[in-house]
Amino acid sequence: MSRMGTQTLVFDSPPFIAAQTSIVGPKEGKGPLAEWFDVILEDDLLGQQSWEMAESEMVCRAVERTLRAANLSADAAQAMLGGDLNGQIIASSFAARTLGIPFLGLYGACSTFIQALILGASLVSGGYLDNALCAASSHYCTAERQFRFPVEMGNQRPPQASWTTTACGCALLSRQAAPDALRVTCGTIGRVIDLEIKDSNHMGAAMAPAVCSCISAHFADTGRTAADYDLIATGDLGWIGRNILMELFHRDKTDMPDEKLIDCGASIFFQEQDSHAGGSGCGCVASVSCGWLMKRLQRGELKRALITGSGAMLSPISCQQGQSIPGIAYAVCIEGGAK
Amino acid sequence: MSRMGTQTLVFDSPPFIAAQTSIVGPKEGKGPLAEWFDVILEDDLLGQQSWEMAESEMVCRAVERTLRAANLSADAAQAMLGGDLNGQIIASSFAARTLGIPFLGLYGACSTFIQALILGASLVSGGYLDNALCAASSHYCTAERQFRFPVEMGNQRPPQASWTTTACGCALLSRQAAPDALRVTCGTIGRVIDLEIKDSNHMGAAMAPAVCSCISAHFADTGRTAADYDLIATGDLGWIGRNILMELFHRDKTDMPDEKLIDCGASIFFQEQDSHAGGSGCGCVASVSCGWLMKRLQRGELKRALITGSGAMLSPISCQQGQSIPGIAYAVCIEGGAK
């Protein structure tokens, strides 16, 4: 338990990732990462009466599958940290109601999963909890209703718009796990950054400055560079936002090799899947982290990755009032266990 | 850093409350607790263009006043934890944008301030941070717009409805402070409890079961009873919700002397102020804690208080879909310093 620089928490007793689950919807299940996800839903309503309850059911299933994989009962789960994009984070809070697990609700927009990992790792590494479930979800239809228009309206989307993924990721942090389990070793808390983007369809542009700030703070705090990581992932900047981020790094003279930086949102869909700028939503970085990234770390293909989540504080009310869209980002370092 | 029972975190190096600020609106400033608040606003628009930006400005002022009182610059503030009732917690996140302090956004509805104190105390006691700002706000006009109708509509309110306070509370937790500063010694994380209340005007009824569950868990975890506290405060159950809570304790055979339990929402307004069931909103427990309760602890009138915050996961969307309203609660123990 210590602190490095101005924004980075170091977990001296790094919690293990005892188990993790990724669930995605049918469209995401046809994308390039399909083979990496644990569950691909055939029906994105999950047998529920509304999209919101469907998203909540997806969170329940992700948590329950994670607990089963870790051979832990829901009663033994000490806390669930998480959130989603719905107002009043109902997907997560209704799931916590069903599951009966002590709940810490977070709102970091699409950065929520990484925010949950940092806070969860702090609580487990600090000895407050033996385990902590970190989860985040999004659903295309709930997000459209929350932020834009009902899907039934068939509203046209501009090219810079991203497609909110129907997806959920859940990781169980634990003080005890197999010695080769992944570990969360440090995390960086971002600042809210606003470069005056007002286009509510251009999330990548709204978030890229916050991601640049957070990764730069991480490097400054830890003395590391991109060379210290096998992979640096961003959450859901999409193809355009990722380019903006690279420009920002270039402007700041921060070395960031193009091949080392992957964006989850730019990776989850094929371009011909009509997702426009790429995938977004809390579930994007959550499912891609729990699927693709953690599994590659578990296989030893990567030794150490920095995963960034970013959120656009996109509020329908503040947008209608002419306010710009601030962004926030968090970063966690995940390392492979002993082989 | 340790854990007690199933839901309680014990802060072995209890963080100090180095400074705190309470700001309330004009109506709250005419209530019975007026003398205890640091700032009573004359204008609840705070010179802004919208209620939402007014609420955000209130958060900024509360944070800045707290930092001044602690003689700390914003640059030296290591994290701000907080939230509000607005979708995408824009009052808090826009304030964090202005202040430039690393931000952890929370959503616990009206329980947010207590949730922030627990997480903030964990991070400071755990050695991750030297200090943490914990803040929460609400504004009558933003909450009406978010959850009900624009105020201009003059919608009639039923007797069980509470009045969302225009208020903000901010506390600076620190590893270092004067030896007689208050300390946050433990905190209990609640579960989401739902007794199927569907009346979106009856927040007290929706939250009381979660408060009962949280306080009962706190007692079970710590082996304490009401006798171990000079005061037990609930956040914003209001007059009706407080009665429901007392009934729940009675049903469970939990000893809770009537004179020891105060409800912030039932205390902040005179009954003749037309607030109906009492005050509510994140700012209610936040401002009453930072005003009345912490100041009484600082004066030595109270030695040890348990302050509970509760939130109703009231979502306009889920209510319209016929869902009931789950509640969540958190509790923190605050103790007077050495005299």
Please write the tens of the pLDDT for every residue from B75-98.
999 999 999 999 999 999 999 999
A–B CB contacts, 8 A cutoff, strictly below: 193
Average confidence (pLDDT) over B201-225: 97
State residue A71's pLDDT score: 97
Mean pLDDT of A61-90: 97
Of A211, A170, A223, A173, give the one whose Cα is nearest residue A59: A170
Beta-bridge mates of residue B103: B80
Is A94 an 8 Å CB contact of chain B?
Answer: yes
Q: What is the rounded CA–CA span in Å between residue A146 and residue A251?
A: 35
Q: Is A87 on the interface with B (CB under 8 A)?
A: yes
pLDDT at A132 over 90: yes
User: B7 CB near a chain A CB, below 8 Å?
Assistant: yes
Q: Each residue of A308-330: b (16+ CB within 10 Å) or e? A: bbbbbbbbebbbeeebbbbbbbb
**Contact indicator for B3, B222 with CB cutoff of 8 Å:** no
Q: Percentage of chain A surpassing pLDDT 70?
A: 99
Largest Cα span, chain A: 54
Please give the average per-residue pLDDT across A21-28, as a whole number: 98
* Predicted confidence (pLDDT) at residue A1 exceeds the cutoff of 80: no
Instruction: Tell me the mean pLDDT in the region A114-124.
Output: 98
Judge: A189–B53 Cβ closer than 8 Å, yes or no: no
Tokens of A184: 């969360």
Answer whether B115 sits within 8 Å of A100, measured CB to CB: no
Q: Which residues, 6+ apart, have CB-to-CB distance to A211 below 8 Å?
A: A234, A235, A237, A245, A308, A310, A327, A329
pLDDT confidence bin for B1, thresholds 50/70/90: low
Instruction: Assess B56–A contact: CB distance below 8 Å, yes or no.
Output: no
* B241-268 exposure pattern, b = at least 16 Cβ within 10 A, e = fewer: bbbbbbebbeeeebebeeebbbbbbbbb
Compute the radius of gyration of chain A from its Cα atoms. Answer: 18
Q: Which 3 state secondary structure label does DSSP give A3?
A: strand
Report residue B11: phi and psi, to 5°: -95, 100
Give the residue-averaged pLDDT of A35-63: 98
State both tokens at B232. Answer: 């037990």
CB A287 within 8 A of CB A23: yes
pLDDT tens-digit series, residues A231-286: 999 999 999 999 999 999 999 999 999 999 999 999 999 999 999 999 999 999 99
Q: CA quadruple A223, A226, A232, A234: dihedral positive or negative?
A: positive
* Count of CB atoms situated within 10 Å of the CB of A42: 9
Q: What is the pLDDT of residue B22?
A: 98
Decide the pairing of beta strands A163-164 and B261-263. Answer: unpaired
How confident is the model at residue B155, as a pLDDT?
86
Question: Under 8 Å CB-to-CB from B278, ≥6 apart: which residues?
Answer: B162, B163, B204, B236, B237, B238, B239, B241, B263, B265, B266, B267, B268, B269
Separation CA B92–CA B84 (nearest Å): 6
ipTM of the modeled complex: 0.97
What rounded mean pLDDT belongs to chain B?
A: 96
Which of A271-275, A335-339, B52-56, B314-318 has the highest mean predicted lDDT (pLDDT)?
A: B52-56
Q: What's the pLDDT score for residue A192?
A: 97
pLDDT at B337: 73
Cα distance between residue A95 and residue A30, in whole Å: 26
Which residues between 173 and 202 in chain A have a beta carbon less than 8 angstroms from any beta carbon of chain B?
A: 189-194
Query: In this model, does residue A302 exceed pLDDT 80?
Result: yes
CB A52 to CB B317 under 8 A? yes
How many residues does the structure list for chain A?
Answer: 339
Question: Mind giving me the DSSP string for A180-242?
Answer: TSEEEEEEEEPPPB------TT-HHHHHHHHHHHHHHHHHHHH---GGG-SEEEESS-HHHHH
Q: How many residues does chain B have?
A: 339
Query: What average pLDDT does range A205-223 have in this prediction?
Result: 98
- The dihedral sign for the CA sequence B86, B87, B92, B95: negative
Mean pLDDT value across residues A285-298: 98
Asked if A50 lies within 8 A of B129 by C-beta distance, the reply is: no
The pLDDT, as a whole number, for residue A48 is 97
Name the residue of chain A whose CA is nearest to B112's CA. A105
Do the chains contact at A126 and B125, CB–CB below 8 Å? yes
pLDDT, position B339: 54
Whether residue A279 contacts residue A28, with contact meaning beta carbons closer than 8 Å, is answered with yes
Which chain B residue has its CA at the smallest distance from A314's CA?
Answer: B88
Largest CA distance in chain B: 54
> Touching check for A321 and chain B: CB below 8 Å?
yes
What pLDDT score was predicted for residue B150?
83
Question: Which chain B positions have a beta carbon within 8 Å of A126's beta carbon?
Answer: 1, 122, 125-128
Q: What angle do CA B89, B91, B93 make, to 5 degrees?
A: 65
* Minimal Cβ distance to A317: which of B52, B101, B318: B52
Residue A339 has pLDDT above 80, yes or no: no
Tokens for A263?
Answer: 């964006």
Of A7, A94, A128, nearest to B1 by CB-CB distance is: A128
Amino acid at site A68:
R
Percent of chain B with pLDDT over 90: 93
Instruction: Report whether pLDDT(A3) > 80.
Output: no
- Find residues 127-156 of chain B whose CB sits inside 8 Å of chain A: 127-130, 145-146
If we measure between CA atoms, which residue out of A35, A26, A120 comes closest to residue A296? A35
User: DSSP letters of B83-120?
Assistant: E-SSGGGHHHHHHHHHHT--EEEB--GGGHHHHHHHHH
Q: Nearest CA to A76 among A63, A57, A89?
A: A63
- The beta strand positions in B56-211, using DSSP E, are 80-83, 103-105, 131-138, 163-164, 167-174, 182-189
pLDDT, average across residues B49-63: 98
pLDDT digits (tens, 9 = 90+) for B167-205: 999 999 999 988 899 999 999 999 999 999 999 999 999
| Residue (of A105, A162, A16) closest to B189 by Cα position | A105
Task: Look at residues B182, B228, B176, B124 and name the one whose alpha carbon lies nearest to residue B334.
Answer: B182
Mean pLDDT of A138-153: 92
What integer pLDDT is reported at residue A338 of this predicted model?
Answer: 63
* A194/B321 CB distance under 8 A: no
Closest CB from B93, B100, B104 relative to A189 = B104
Distance CA B329, CA B216 (A): 11
Report d(CA A306, CA A188) in Å as an integer: 10
CB contact under 8 Å between B323 and A53, yes or no, is yes
Contact B235, B210 (CB under 8 A): no
Cβ separation A128–B9 shorter than 8 A = yes
Q: 0.95 cut: is pTM over it?
A: yes
Residue B6 has pLDDT above 90, yes or no: no
Asked whether the predicted pLDDT for residue B252 surpasses 70, the reply is: yes
Q: Which of A2, A105, A145 shows the shortest C-beta gap to B106?
A: A105
| Start-to-end Cα distance in chain B | 25
CA angle B175, B178, B180 (to 5 degrees): 110
Average pLDDT (B149-158) is: 88
Q: What's the rounded mean pLDDT across residues A42-53?
A: 97
Predicted pLDDT at B338: 63
Per-residue pLDDT at A311:
98
- A119 near B CB under 8 A: yes
